[in-house]
Amino acid sequence: MPETVRRGYAPGDAREFGEKALPLLRRAQRDIFYLVSRGYALERAVTFVGDRFQFSARQRMALARATCSRGSLLGRRRRECGGDLAGKTLLVDGFNLIIPLEIALSRSTLILCMDGAVRD
């Protein structure tokens, strides 16, 4: 019988990203956002805040992927495509679509980031 593979799955995800952990992760994200918006390097801000909350390496990586500075966030929003794409060519990076889809279908952890993107 073939072995079921869950891309992106880690055994501790239910605990580290479950309902009890989410309020603390959101609070930490606000702290990181504050620091990086004031010029601190993302990696150092994540380390500082992650140490304070005693987060695992996986939680820290998720926070780093989900958080950006106010300037970066505004820049990303300016570059978003408008709603009317009818008749226009839109290039989609299939790899960046397939992997999160596979992760979602295997019920592994996906992160809704502050810029609206869904990342693994």
What are the pLDDT digits (tens) for 2-16?
666 777 778 899 999
Contacts of 40 (CB under 8 A, 6+ apart): 48
Instruction: Give the highest mean pLDDT range of 34-38, 93-97, 115-119.
Output: 34-38
Contacts of 108 (CB under 8 A, 6+ apart): 6, 7, 8, 9, 13, 120
CA distance 19 to 76: 29
Q: Which range (12-26, 39-53, 70-84) has the least confidence? A: 70-84
- Residue 68 domain flag: yes
- Per-residue pLDDT reduced to its tens digit, 34-64: 999 999 999 999 999 999 999 999 999 999 9
Q: Mean pLDDT throughout 80-88?
A: 82
- Residue 3 domain flag: no
Lookup result for tokens 């500075």: 69
- Residue 2 domain flag: no
Domain that holds residue 66: 13-119
- Residue 32 domain flag: yes
- Residue 86 domain flag: yes
Number of domains, the chain: 1
- Residue 41 domain flag: yes
Mean confidence (pLDDT) of the chain: 91
CB atoms under 10 Å from CB of 23, counted, come to 9
- Residue 89 domain flag: yes
- Residue 48 domain flag: yes
CB atoms under 10 Å from CB of 9, counted, come to 12
Q: CB burial class (10 A; 0-12, 13-18, 19+) of residue 20?
A: exposed
